[in-house]
Structure 1
């Protein structure tokens, strides 16, 4: 009976030791999993913030694009209106000009066109309008890029 009781106590001690060891292992694993979960949750929150910021920036880019596209359309409409008015004679393109040295300063009385203001040659008008359109496009594109840099690029955290 003593042997049986001793064997039973030894078996219970071994079983208790094994259970304690198993509990310790599980507690350790639980701690590692909890730490991993916290890291994953922090990463998810970081990704949510990044996505929120990215959506805001895309919205801002869309607003900038819309504003500058409308401005460009208005400028092109004004340039086209000016071209039509000049071609129809409703408006004139005047050139600020001075006669080069060596040209007589006395006007000939035989030619009345010398008294009028300098004006672009009709063949040069199309070139003028093309240059005006290119200048307007360039100015608007530059303004759009500057607006983009100010509101989007400089607003991005971590890139300074």
Structure 2
């Protein structure tokens, strides 16, 4: 197996996750803001949260934490799909056309678990970056990008 064939699942997983994440990011930030509002007993209406976000931060507010989302997709989704392909290749016995269910499940669980550990710092950074503007100004961390969040956390 060549280098590209080995890397292809990581790359395609990272790219597909990043494209999907870009589309879903505005919805995700509204979800995070709703969860935070619920914890504080505030208005949890989707329309209210979205209008408040737009009024306070403008359209760019819907993309707060986008660098952390990209890091999460590369680290988590890329690793999950890439490791799954590597694990299934290692688990295949010579002459075995398809893997039995238990081997496939073990490969999937292992890949997902390892990828979750790898992607966790980016996920934490994403939530912190999305919620930062809700803190009182003196308590804000004002992360510039995901690497700044990694270094600060």
Q: TM-score under structure 1 normalisation? A: 0.35
Return the TM-score normalized by structure 2: 0.36
Highest Rg: 1 or 2? 1
